[in-house]
A and B are shown apart, each in its own frame.
Chain A
Amino acid sequence: MRAGALVLVATLSACGSDTPSRPTLSTPFPPVTTPLDGLYDLVITPGAGCGLPGAPYEVSVVVTSLAGSGGTEMRATLPGGDATLVLEMVYSPPGWLQGSVSTRTFVLADASNIFVRASGSGKVSSAAGGRAEVESGRMNGDVSVDVGGGDVLSCSSLEHGWALRAR
């Protein structure tokens, strides 16, 4: 009888404590600070509601990282240093890329000719082989696609998606 009462009192008093336990703070996953370098697939996914045909658009790019005015930055062009399409981005803060994706003229991405003028950001993540990539970023601006016959469809959005997938 006494033991049972003790259990009941102890249990109820614990429930009535004025100092509820606080959960332990989880530590955020550390940023991936490996710079992107080498051959990647740039994937551009027009924002929801754009309805552009042939999306998402995928094109091979070559990425180099270098020291710049705001810290380490990266530049990506089409293979062979072809600057018809360029990504200019800065690692700020570390593990995070922000900057722009732009084309001078229409660029062939898979079977679609696209034209892009957008800026945005994305988190750097780890890829196979010790490399880094951007799995999913967002950008605002314009994405256009040549639908043939001299017609172009364009979409302005604050939520275009982009990715740089290591090849």
Chain B
Amino acid sequence: MPRLPKIPAARSDRPEPSSGRGHALLALALVLALGGCGGEGPPPAVPQLVSPVGGATLDTDTPVFTITNARGFDSGEASYTFRVVVASTGRDVASVTVAAGPSQTAVRFPDPLLRGATLGWSVVGRDRAGSEVASGSASFRLPPVDCRSTSDPYAKAVVGFWVPATCLAVNSYNDPEEALGPPDAGQLPNNAYFGFVSLGDGGFVDVDMEGCAIDAEGADVRVLQSVSSEPVTLYASSSPAGPWVLVESRKPCGQRNPGTFSRRCEFDLAAAGIEEARYLRVQDGELFPCPGGTDTEGADIDAVQILSVKP
């Protein structure tokens, strides 16, 4: 409901000449005619995005998002889910659900959002009966990615790692640090391998490239993968804690790479609508349940390389 201005002089429990009451009513009428403070009017049929306004460039990773509630979707009546996506591709970045506030609803996401891409945001209101009402969308940007200057294109540090316990139990190559540095995997005379980490069924390793990959012409990131041609899925982020945005899913990773034991697959940041990224999540894309009868279950990651290093 619109908030009307208080008019203390018009209280009926205060003795007042009739002419004063008349002026108070005149003032009230004037304010109502002007539409109330700040252009307030009746609640809109769908939620209206208030801030950030479309096209804004923000100076924080955790902006406050504010909407004007839709009619019938106000405080005590509804909840709102705020969704942030990469604007050009619709790839998910983050979402959060809150109870509707009075007239307007405002929220700050609990975690930083994504830098290095133009983002879009929108909301969906849901009332107690399950009816939904959706807003339009608006775009915005965060500050640039914090990229270190480097000419070394390979991964520098592991910032996250998960392999299902059932896969860790059967795999022999469980050190995520093997994904760092230039490709160095190989095979010993006894047929044992060295120099890679096996990711099991859907496992992943998150690496800090320190420098940034930028979206240039063609592929921007190369993954060196050993043993066979297991597919790989790549995500990108501007922060070690995410949000992780899908770049490309289940790319076959068996192209021969001259001079290395490992094979390769390549990824284009443009597929995700990301312009630059410092952190990469390399996920197994073979997706075969463990145990699978080998000690190298899942994609076997030797190295992660930026092909388009930000100068």
Seen from chain A, the residues whose Cβ lies within 8 Å of a Cβ on chain B are: 1-8, 10-12, 14-15, 20, 22-29, 66-71, 73, 75, 83-86, 88-90, 92-93, 99-104, 117-119, 138, 140-142, 156, 158
Contacts and interface: CB of A to CB of B under 8 A. Distances in A.
Contacts of A101: 287
Listed residue (B10, B17, B203) with the most chain A CB atoms within 10 angstroms of its CB: B203
Interface string B96-135: 1111111111111111000000000000000000000000
Contact of A14 (B5, B10, B111): B5
Contact of A2 (B20, B104, B202, B283): B20
A140 B289 contact: no
Interface of B: 5, 7-10, 16-17, 19-24, 26-28, 30-31, 34, 36-38, 64, 66, 79, 92, 96-111, 160-168, 200-203, 233, 246, 249-250, 283-290
Listed residue (A7, A70, A103) with the most chain B CB atoms within 10 angstroms of its CB: A7
Contact of A99 (B24, B36, B161, B202): B202
A142 B110 CA distance: 32
A56 B162 CA distance: 30
B105 A26 contact: yes
Given A4-B21, A6-B9, 9 more contacts: A11-B27, A15-B37, A25-B107, A29-B99, A68-B165, A73-B164, A119-B202, A141-B250, A158-B246
Contact of A158 (B26, B64, B249): B249
30 contacts: A2-B20, A4-B21, A4-B24, A6-B9, A7-B10, A8-B26, A8-B27, A10-B8, A11-B5, A15-B37, A23-B66, A23-B102, A23-B105, A28-B96, A28-B98, A28-B110, A29-B97, A67-B165, A71-B162, A75-B164, A75-B165, A86-B201, A88-B164, A88-B167, A88-B203, A90-B164, A92-B162, A100-B201, A100-B202, A102-B289
A26 to B, nearest CB: 4
A20 B217 CA distance: 47
Nearest to B292: A104
Contacts of A15: 5, 31, 34, 36-38
Contact of A69 (B34, B64, B165, B250): B165
A8 B97 contact: no
B170 to A, nearest CB: 12
Contacts of B166: 75, 88
Contacts of A7: 7-10, 23-24, 27-28
A102 B37 CA distance: 57
Contacts of B79: 29
B30 A8 contact: yes
B37 A14 contact: yes
A141 to B, nearest CB: 6
B287 A102 contact: yes
Contacts of B23: 1, 3-5, 7-8
Contacts of A5: 23
Contacts of B202: 88-89, 99-100, 102, 119
The 5 closest A-B CB pairs, nearest first, are A4-B23, A100-B202, A70-B162, A26-B98, A3-B20
A1 B19 contact: yes
A102 B5 CA distance: 60
> Chain B: interface secondary structure?
mixed
Contacts of A73: 162, 164-165
Contacts of B37: 14-15
Given A1-B20, A7-B7, A11-B31, A25 B161 contact: no
Contact of B24 (A3, A84, A104, A158): A3
B287 A119 contact: yes
Contact of B107 (A28, A67, A75): A28
A20 B259 CA distance: 65
Contact of B7 (A11, A99, A103): A11
Contact of B27 (A4, A71, A85): A4
A131 to B, nearest CB: 20
A23 B288 CA distance: 49
Contacts of B106: 22-26
